[in-house]
Amino acid sequence: MSETICAVATPPGRGGIGIVRISGSACQRVARELLGFIPSPRTAIHTDFCAPDGETLDSGIALYFPSPASYTGEDVLELQGHGSPIALERIVGCILDQGVRLANPGEFTERAFRNDKLDLAQAEAVADLIASGSAEAGRAATRSLTGEFSLRIRELDQRVLKLRMFIESAIDFAEEEIDFLGDTEQQSRLDEMRSLVEALIDRSTAGLTMQIGLDVAIAGAPNVGKSSLLNRLLGEDRAIVTATAGTTRDTLHGDLSLDGLPVRLTDTAGLHASDDPIELMGMERAQTALSTADCVLWVIDDADENLSTPDMYRGKTLVVRNKCDLTGNTPGAVGKTEFRTCALTGAGLSDVCEGLKQVAGFRAGTDAFAGRPRHIAALKRVDDALSQAAKELSVREGELVAENLRVAHESLGEIVGITTSDDLLGEIFSTFCIGK
């Protein structure tokens, strides 16, 4: 941690502005070397950035944030020059000559975490905000980043600790006349905590869903209207549509957003018996798309009486009975997983979209947190421990109640990074971008 680190904080390539960020105790030395002076704290100063031989590498704004009032908690120097990869590389080269090393991915944020500027859930939200693919996912990440999620976790932890203290002292007084553990108030405290945990699981799952989205494969026999469905859902003429069977051979992709839920659609070649080698290769690709998708839109002709759905795939299947304009059936949901559509007019497709949201566990609303699988797993452990504790409390097994409350406390601590192993920390920060 004592090493000073440096990285270009702006994305690679040419741009309006390019920022070099330095964090650590060598910032003042670097400032003196490149700028000739140490900028006043937190003041934007226009200056030249110079090499040791006096050559001007670029000019721009220098910003100095002395420790501890900085992003990382250490001395931080930011040089905001032009977005020229060459100029940035030369500036970084001069800084590295000062005994500074290049930052690892996420190292600035890791230092912020280690210096208590952010807790772990907030640090993760930084990466989630950068990676967010929709306004809704961005909002969920911001909600976590500002500490709203962490606050809920800490409040819950306080409740767990309070009850644990009560239970532990009740164990000590077990011989006394008063039956502390039989008190119904403790049972209702546990119930309250469980509903808080469950709400947090819901809100985090909603955020995770928005972050990872849903992979959907469109499949079925040739000519049932798969490519027409893709085009309709995307609102553009992506795939070639003809009345000739076997038009689609390669898999085709398209992205759409359903109220902030990112959906990746894959159109596939029609599955049927064929000995055309190109079609066979297309069908093989279709099988691969089916086996990796989260959800399959299995398209059939509405006139088709034989409903044979694929059951060997891991994803959920929604049956789409297309061309309902020809059968005269009403478009829309037939059941929870079956729909009638007309890909020519788009009739019935809004119901299919609702079905996809259902499959993803997506819920509308504005209270999602940028959940990560590890948060949700930890919250589920908390939920299990609390439900276990409730059972044990009802048979007055004080010691076991206390033990489960300890487990709940530890799992909550893992989320915000109080009780997190170094390995896990390394894993989390290594997925960040360099310069963050």
Ligand X SMILES: Nc1nc2c(ncn2[C@@H]2O[C@H](COP(=O)(O)OP(=O)(O)O)[C@@H](O)[C@H]2O)c(=O)[nH]1
Q: What are the residues binding ligand X (CB under 6 A)? A: 222-228, 241-243, 247-248, 270, 322-323, 325-326, 342-344
CA–CA distance, 356 with 46 (Å, rounded to integer): 53
Task: Find which of ligand X, Mg ion, none residue 10 binds, CB within 5 to 8 Å per kind.
Answer: none
Nearer to ligand X among residue 45 and residue 303 (C-beta): 303
Residue with smallest beta-carbon separation from ligand X: 225
Smallest distance from the beta carbon of 224 to Mg ion, in angstroms? 9
Nearer to ligand X among residue 125 and residue 343 (C-beta): 343
Task: Find which of ligand X, Mg ion, none residue 4 binds, CB within 5 to 8 Å per kind.
Answer: none
CB 129 within 8 A of CB 90: no
Could you tell me whether strands 295-301 and 316-322 are parallel, antiparallel, or unpaired per DSSP bridges? parallel
CB 416 within 8 A of CB 154: yes
Paired tokens of 416:
């915000």
What strands lie across the sheet with 45-50, from one edge to the other? 45-50, 56-65, 76-83, 15-23, 5-8, 101-102
Smallest distance from the beta carbon of 273 to ligand X, in angstroms? 15
CB 436 within 8 A of CB 9: yes
Smallest distance from the beta carbon of 268 to Mg ion, in angstroms? 8
- CA proximity to 396, closest of 92, 155, 174: 174
- CA proximity to 253, closest of 240, 241, 269, 239: 239
Nearer to ligand X among residue 26 and residue 324 (C-beta): 324
Smallest distance from the beta carbon of 313 to ligand X, in angstroms? 18
Q: Which residues contact Mg ion by CB under 5 A?
A: 226-227, 248
Nearer to ligand X among residue 98 and residue 247 (C-beta): 247
Cβ of 180: how many Cβ atoms within 10 Å? 18
Task: Find which of Mg ion, ligand X, none residue 143 binds, CB within 5 to 8 Å per kind.
Answer: none
Nearer to ligand X among residue 132 and residue 248 (C-beta): 248
Computed from CA positions of residues 34, 35, 39, 44, in that sequence, does the dihedral angle turn out positive or negative? Answer: negative
Smallest distance from the beta carbon of 314 to Mg ion, in angstroms? 23
Nearer to ligand X among residue 135 and residue 326 (C-beta): 326
Smallest distance from the beta carbon of 291 to ligand X, in angstroms? 19
Nearer to ligand X among residue 224 and residue 368 (C-beta): 224
Which residue has tokens 């729909």? 339
Quick one: the chain helix, strand, coil %, rounded to 5? 45, 20, 35
CB within 8 A of 78, min separation 6: which ones?
9, 19, 20, 21, 22, 61, 62, 63, 64, 65
What residue type is 372 in one-letter code? Answer: R
Task: Find which of Mg ion, ligand X, none residue 224 binds, CB within 5 to 8 Å per kind.
Answer: ligand X
Biggest CA-to-CA distance, the chain: 86
Cβ of 288: how many Cβ atoms within 10 Å? 14
Task: Find which of ligand X, Mg ion, none residue 268 binds, CB within 5 to 8 Å per kind.
Answer: none
Smallest distance from the beta carbon of 233 to ligand X, in angstroms? 12
Could you tell me whether strands 338-340 and 214-220 are parallel, antiparallel, or unpaired per DSSP bridges? unpaired
Smallest distance from the beta carbon of 255 to Mg ion, in angstroms? 18
Residue with smallest beta-carbon separation from Mg ion: 248
Could you tell me whether strands 316-322 and 338-340 are parallel, antiparallel, or unpaired per DSSP bridges? parallel
Task: Find which of Mg ion, ligand X, none residue 225 binds, CB within 5 to 8 Å per kind.
Answer: ligand X
Nearer to Mg ion among residue 239 and residue 382 (C-beta): 239
Smallest distance from the beta carbon of 325 to ligand X, in angstroms? 5
Nearer to Mg ion among residue 243 and residue 312 (C-beta): 243
Smallest distance from the beta carbon of 352 to ligand X, in angstroms? 12
Q: How far is CA 216 from the centre of its chain?
A: 18
Nearer to Mg ion among residue 95 and residue 271 (C-beta): 271
